[in-house]
Copies of this chain bind each other. A is one copy, B any other.
Amino acid sequence: MRTAVLFSGGKDSSLSALMLSKCFEVELLTFTFGLSENWRSAERSAKRLGLPHKKIDFGGGVIEEATDMMIKDAFPRDGLNLVHKKALENSAKEYEIIADGTRRDDISPKLTLAETRSLEDRYDIHYVRPLLGFGRKLIDELAGRFFIVLEGENLPKRADYEFEIRCYMRENYDEEMVEKIFPSRHVHSRVLGLKSCRSFNLGATFGST
C-alpha cells in the first residue's frame, strides 16, 4: 500500500517512517512554502535512512492564512494545525495511507479524533500515527538505539513548518512578533544516520510488503 510519511528529518518522523517502511511502500514527503531551502536537510536525513523522499510545495495562500491566525490568536497552535491539515489533505489525494510522527505528548500540530476520522472518510484513506501510543521518554530511548541524532535549540535550516513561518514573520512583521508567537526554546532534532545495520532491524517492522 502506497504510504506517505510527512517528514521533517527529526527523530519522530524518522522513527515513524521506519516503523512503517517494511510493511508498506513508504515515501517521505517534506512540504515547503518555498521561502527557504530548509527542506534539503530532510532530504539528507531521508537519504541516510535509505528511504525515497519528495519535496512538495504548499502552493499560495497557506502561509498567509496560518500566520494571520497565529497573530490573531497570539499563539501558534491553530495556525500550525491548519498547515498540517493542508499537508495531510494534499498527501491524501495521492496515497492510500498517510502518516506522520505525532506523539502522545504533542500539543500541536495534532488532529482530534473527529478530525482524523473526517480526513479518512473524505479522502478514503488510512491516516496513521505510529507514535501516538508512545510517551516522550520511550521514543527518546528508541531513537537513541537506532539513530545518530543531533539535538539543540533552533537548529539551523531544520525542515519543519515553524522554520519558514519564522522567516515569513521576520520579513513581513519583525523579530518581536516572531518572539511573541514562538517564545519558547524548543529542542529540535535531526537524524544524521543509522547507528548500525545490526541494531537496525526496525525496517523489518510488520514483515515485507
Contacts and interface: CB of A to CB of B under 8 A. Distances in A.
Interface of A: 1, 19, 22-23, 97, 102, 104, 113, 116-117, 120, 126-135, 137-138, 141-142, 145-146, 199-202, 204-208
Given A22-B201, A205-B205, A120 B135 contact: yes
B132 A104 contact: yes
B23 A207 contact: no
24 contacts: A19-B205, A102-B133, A116-B135, A117-B135, A126-B135, A126-B137, A126-B138, A127-B135, A128-B133, A128-B134, A128-B138, A130-B130, A130-B133, A130-B134, A131-B133, A132-B132, A132-B133, A133-B133, A142-B206, A199-B207, A201-B207, A201-B208, A205-B205, A205-B206
A194 to B, nearest CB: 10
Contacts of A23: 142
Contacts of A137: 126
Copies per assembly:
2
A97 B138 contact: yes
A175 to B, nearest CB: 35
Given A19-B206, A128-B135, 18 more contacts: A117-B135, A126-B135, A130-B133, A132-B133, A133-B133, A142-B206, A145-B207, A146-B207, A199-B207, A201-B204, A201-B205, A201-B206, A201-B207, A201-B208, A202-B206, A202-B207, A204-B204, A204-B205
A26 to B, nearest CB: 14
Query: What 3 A-B pairs come out closest when comparing CB atoms?
Result: A132-B133, A129-B133, A204-B204
